[in-house]
Amino acid sequence: MTELESLREQLKAFAAARDWDQFHSPKNLAMALSVEAGELLETFQWLSEEQSRRLPAEVLAAASDEVADVLLYLIRLCDQMGIDPIVAANRKLVANEAKYPVDKARGNSKKYTEL
């Protein structure tokens, strides 16, 4: 069992023990994931980009906690939707290679539709 699968199984058991499947619809889990993404964002909202590259230890620890929340809801959402996040991510990486050819995208932050 991979690390992600282990987390998935622990989350499933966690929810089952608390009878939380009733709350864990994909709709609600996508909301929870977005809420946590917002909390992660809060860490950075008044920092410069440079500051965000050199976070003090306590800010880094707080950001790690929010990253963990995002990942846990993502895993739980995938489980409830019956999709494998690793497969989806690998498929997307291949698509991105085609969307962002090196020669056009180098040093350029434009969206692929504008390259």
Decide if residue 39 touches its own copies (CB under 8 A): yes
Cβ of residue 84: shortest distance to its own copies, in angstroms? Answer: 9
Residues 46-105 touching its own copies, rule: CB under 8 A, are 46-53, 55, 60, 63-65, 67-72, 74-75, 77-78, 80-83, 85-86, 88-93, 96-97, 100, 102, 105
Report in angstroms the alpha-carbon separations of 41 from 38, 47, 95.
5, 11, 27
Per DSSP, the three-state class of 23 is coil
Burial of 75: CB neighbours in 10 Å, binned 0-12, 13-18, 19+: buried
Decide if residue 37 touches its own copies (CB under 8 A): yes
